[in-house]
Each structure stands twice: as C-alpha cells, then as structure tokens.
Structure 1
Amino acid sequence: MNRKTMAPLVKLIIFAAVTLVLTGLLAQTLGSLSTGGVSYRARFTDVTGLLPGDDVRIAGVRVGQVRDIRVVEDTVAEVTFTVEADVPLATSVRAKIRYRNLVGQRYVALTEGPGDGRPLPRGGLIPLARTTPALDLTVLFNGFRPLFTALSPNEVNKLAYEIIQVLQGESGTVASLLQRTASLTNTLADRDAVIGRVITNLNSVLGTLANRDRNLDQTISQLQQFVSGLAADRAAIGDALTNLGDLTGATAGLLRDVRPALAADVRALHELAGTLNRNSTVIDATLGRLPERYEALTRTASYGSWLNYYLCDFDGRVVAGGQELNAATFSSSAARCSAGGAR
C-alpha cells in the first residue's frame, strides 16, 4: 500500500469513527438509550402521556429512563424505571411527572423529600403518597374558561398564546399576562356595584331563610311524614283506586242500561209538559173552582147522611203520545158491589 492510498484510507477511518461517535450521541439524546442501571418502581394516579423510554431526571439532569408501565390495583399505574448505579436514591425520594415539551412528551422528575435518608433498595417502591401526576393542560385551560368568557376573541387568543409561551419558559411574557389579568380585574371592579347588589340580595334571601328555619324544618318534617304515610298506605291506596275503577265501570254500565228508558221518560215528560201548557186555561179555571166545590161537598157531608159513596170498581190508564205507559184496575167483591146494589 503506497502513500497515496494510505492518506485517503486514514481520512475515511477518522471520518467513520467521528460519524459513529456522533451517531451514538445523537441516538443517546433522541432515543433515550441507556446502558443499564438500578431498577425502581413508582405508583401514580395518572401517567397519561408517559411512555417507556422517557427520561428520568434529577435537577433537570438525565439519570435514567422509564422501562415499563402497567396497571395495578385496578386504578393505579405502576412505572418501572432505572437509575444509574452511581446515583443513590433515598426512601424519602419523591417522583413527579412533568412536561418535557409542548408536543406532549413527559419525563419523571425525582426530588429528595424530608426523611431519615436511608437508601432505597433495588426494586424499591415509591408509594402514591410521594408521587404527583403530570399537569393536565386541558384542566388548566378549562380553569381559565371564566377568564376567557369575559374577554373578546382576540384577547382570548393573545392570552392563550402568552400562557403557552410562559409554559415554554419565556418569562418575558409574564408581564403581558399580568396586564391581561389586571384588565379583567378592572372590568370586574367597574361592575362591583352590580356584584354588591347581588350579594346584598343574596344575603337578604339567606337571612329570611335563616329566620324561618324552624318553619322550613317543620314543613320538611311534615312533608316527610306525609310521604311516609302514603308509602305505608300504598296498598290501601292501590286497592281504593282499583275499586274506584270498578265503580266507574259499573256506573257506566248502569247508565248504558237505563239510557233508553230514561230517554223515553224524558220524551213523555216533555209531551206532558206541553199538554199541561196548552190546557193551562182549563187547569187554572178548574183549580179556581175547586175550593168552592170542596167547601159545598164538605157542608153536605157534615150535616147529614144525604151523601154516601163507596168505590166498587176502578180502571185507570196513563197514555202519552198515543202509547199506554201504565194501567191500574181495581174491583171489590163486597155484597154492596153485587149486581143491582152498587151506588
């Protein structure tokens, strides 16, 4: 191999070595590769967004990675992670899931808490009492919903953008965010009179209820007793409703059966009323003479035996509209009513 060939080969080897080293560093950074470490466990109420391979950090420095995530005790997530062997953990360690970026990547942050500083054994568990789930951006922005409703659409967009910038670490926008909040506070201050009247009226209502709490309590107690009584007598009430239904059915059947006869009686009564109305003059004259006739008949019967009468036979019929409605016949078998003796 001559000198001309050796120089390019050396350059190629150096280039390949540098490329491999840089590729390894890039893979270590992007792929969160790890050569091993001590395994631990931590339990969280929520690990949404956390994936195997995500970082484990202490004070912002990567010291391990997440190995596995599984569900235990039905509603608890258990995260298995590794930490470099030269980074000891104590039993007082605390674990928190934080946002790595706004894309949604997360990592596990470890911090030391108060305690006796005893080392955490391999495979040791960090309980729920010393873990904190990640911040839910949806809940965060839902918390700003009352603020958004009081602002115009343009102000909402600006405020949301500034909140995101603050979360990204751009602290210079905090002043603008505070200005937006102050603007909302001033708006609320301008309406303090209305808010004060609402609170005053609410206090009046609550005061009235407080003054009449005994009556309200008695009303509720009596209502509870009434409902309890209805519940206790529900069987009797059900039977009564059933019997009332039977009675209604029987009444409807009775009316259906007597309706033809009742209709005929009403029509006959109408014809009788018409007949009496047409003969009202005769009836008035008869009724006018009737007292004198009864008086003369009474005098005749009172002063002697000149007038004796008895009833041997009677035959009467009631006719309406050319139809016989009723008939009554009477006949006596007394000797005085025999042939030739009736008077």
Structure 2
Amino acid sequence: MTVLATGALAQTLGAFSGGGTAYRARFTDVAGVLAGDDVRIAGVKVGEVTDIRLVDGATAELEFTVDPAVPLTASTKAKIRYRNLVGQRYLALSEGPTAERLRPNGLIPLGQTTPALDLTVVFNGFRPLFTGLSPQDVNGFAYEIIKLLQGEGGTVTHLLERTASLTTTLADRDELIGRVITNLNQVLGVLDQRDAQLNETVKQLQLFVSGLAADREAIGDAIANIGGLAQATTGLLHDARPALAADISALNTLTGTLQANTAAIESTLANAPERLRALTRTASYGSWFNFYLCDFDGRVIAPDGRELNPVTFHGTNAKCSS
C-alpha cells in the first residue's frame, strides 16, 4: 500500500511520465531547453520534452509528448518560459480559436510559437533598480518581472511589492543620497567657477599633444640618439677609468707635496713680485739677458754625509769685482 501510495503521489506531482501523444513545435531559439523539461498547460504538467534538433539549418524543432487525455488543436500556441532564475525552462501550451484536432506527430509552426525571453536585455533595463536592492530582493524581484513579462496572471501585485521594497530602501538612504548630491553640487560649483581656467588647460593640453604628435619622428630620433650617446659615454668611461684613477692618485700625491712645502711656496709667492720687477727692468734694454758666472760652489753629499769631488770656482772678471 505504501509503494502504491508513493507511486500515485509521484504521478500526481509529475515526477514520472506515463508516455503520451507525440507532437512537434518549431522555434527560432530554444536555448536552455533540455530533454525531460516539462510541458504545461495552465501551469499543470501534461507531458515532457523528448528531443531537440536543428532543421532547415536555422530553425529548432522540439519533439514533446502530451497526455492522451489532453488533445491539442491545430491552432495551439507554444511558448518557452522560465521555470526559475537558475535557467530551467518549460514548454507552455495554450489553445487557439480553432477546434480542429492536431494529429499525432503534428507540427506547431513558427507563427504559433514564441521563444524564451532574453534575460540579458530584461535585466539590463532594470539594472538601476537592482542597484538599490539586497541580493534576496533582486532574486525575488527579477523572478516577478520574468513571470509578468511571460504573461502569467496574478504577478502585478507581487511586482509592486518588490518595487515598494526598492522605494523603502531608497527612503532609508535619503540622508546619504542628499549628502552625495550636496557634495556633487559643490564640486560642480567649483568647476563652474574655474570654467575659463579648465577650458584653457584643455586647450593647452591639446596643443601640447598635437605638438608631440607633429614631432613624433624627431622625438623618436632623439631618443635613439640618446641611447647611442649613453652607450658611447659608457664605453668612454670604461676606457678612461684606469687613466683617470692614476690621475686622481697622482693629484693626491701632488696635494700632499704642496701641503708639506706650504712655507716655501708662500715665501716664493711673497718674493716673486719684487724679483719680477727687477727682471722686467733688466729686460727693458732688449730681448736678451747677460749673465756672468762669478762664483760656483758644487758639492755632492753622499748618503753617509761625506762630500764627493767638491768643486769651487771664483771668477776674476771685472764684473765680478764690482
């Protein structure tokens, strides 16, 4: 008895299909429809989709079965509707004005079928509303929109209830929205006061960019030449580095020598003006100098302090005696 009761309940809920009369319907788009999806009339499951195929290279054909107790007519209309937001579809059938019976395996033509809604287009149109709702409200509101656009009755009230949720949310954020508008108004006011400067800045930027575009070839050549110069400078420094290091070392030695002989250098510089004046007076008689060797005393001092080969000379010229 339990098994029989479970089977009866499952058959009532539509979990199992007991076969039925086969029919066909052609659509321009059956995206998302799968074999095994429900076939419904007035929301009640009366069959299921059994096959999907492409015919004529551009038309989709659904094959489905319907309970034999539910006859279809030649004017029956077929629509693909969303079962839920997950993307499940079902085939909805509705009777037309003609009472002529549709024979088994009969075809419902394109003129009597309607494909599913394009949810991308629908949701893009309602995107501004969705931004103010919570994820739960978005799901419920979107489902009510789909049901309403698919022509299902009794959904306008629910749609208005979801819309009321949006208005309530916006009302709760009235202070925040007002602050944003006030701040935006201040920003726009500052921009308006600086309109002339902003306009001039844009013009100058445009001239600058235009100038760069006009000189792009020269700029490119300059960048290439800079690269060559950097490479040549690198090579020059690499070649000159040893000599430069030796010069710096020698300059350091020279500086030490000058520092050690500071007194002699200062004395020489102090006596140099008087000696230069005397030399100038001597040279004023012509472009030559007369020198007379009167005395010479030469000594060679060995490292141990001894004098080697001392030489002494005293001139007898009259110039030397004056």
TM-score normalised over the length of structure 1 = 0.53
1:151 counterpart residue number: none
| Structure-1 residue corresponding to 2:50 | 67
Q: Partner amino acid for 2:172?
A: T
2:267 counterpart of 1:282: yes
2:92 is aligned with 1:98? no
Alignment CA distance shift 1:57-1:249 (3 Å)? same
Deviations 1:28-85 (A, max 9, x none): 94324442243112243741xx4323233354355653222358999x9945134766
Q: Taking structure 1 as reference, are residues 288 and 78 closer, same or farther at Cα in structure 2, changes over 3 Å only?
A: same
Quick one: structure 1 residues 123 and 193, their matched pair in 2 at CA, closer, same or farther if it must change by over 3 Å?
closer
Does residue 249 of structure 1 match 2:234?
A: yes
Select the residue among 281, 284, 290 that pairs with 1:309: 290
In the TM superposition, 1:1-343 aligns within 5 A as 26=11, 29-44=14-29, 46-47=31-32, 50-60=33-43, 65-69=48-52, 78=60, 80-82=62-64, 86-89=72-75, 95-99=79-83, 106-110=89-93, 122=107, 124-125=109-110, 130-133=114-117, 144=130, 146-148=132-134, 180-201=165-186, 203-204=188-189, 207=192, 212=198, 216=202, 219-220=205-206, 222-223=208-209, 226-227=212-213, 229-230=215-216, 232=217, 236-237=221-222, 239-274=224-259, 276-294=261-279, 296-297=281-282, 301=285, 309=290
Q: 1:173 to 1:56 in 2, by over 3 A?
A: closer
Which stretches in structure 1 are left out of the alignment for 5+ residues? 1-14, 114-118, 149-155, 312-343
Structure 2 gap ranges (5+): 97-101, 148-153, 293-322
Aligned length: 264
Change (3 A) 1:123 1:310: farther
User: C-alpha separation between the residues in 2 aligned to 1:269 and 1:31?
Assistant: 110
- The offset of 1:125, in angstroms, is 4.0
Secondary structure in 1 matching 2:52: strand
Determine helix, strand or coil for the equivalent of 2:90: strand
Which residue identity does 1:185 align to in structure 2? Answer: L
Q: Is the 8 A contact 2:22 2:63 kept in 1?
A: no
- Residue 279 of structure 1 aligns to a residue whose secondary structure is helix
Tell whether the 8 Å contact from 2:51 to 2:62 is kept in structure 1 after alignment: yes
Residue 266 of structure 1 and its aligned partner are, at CA, apart by 0.4
Give % identity: 17
- Report what 2:295 is aligned to: none
Q: What one-letter code is carried by the residue in structure 1 that aligns with 2:290? A: Y
Q: For the residues of structure 2 that align with 1:172 and 1:30, how far apart are their CA atoms?
A: 31
Quickly say closer, same or farther: Cα 1:277–1:123, change in 2 above 3 A: same
- The aligned residue for residue 10 of structure 1 is none
Measure, in 2, the Cα distance between the counterparts of 1:221 and 1:45.
56
- Tell me how large the CA RMSD over aligned residues is: 5.4
TM-score where L is the length of structure 2: 0.56
Q: Secondary structure at the match of 1:132?
A: coil
CA drift at 1:295: 5.6
Distance 1:73 1:286 in 2: 119
Whole-angstrom CA distance in 1 between matches of 2:271 and 2:237: 45
**SS, match of residue 80 in structure 1:** strand
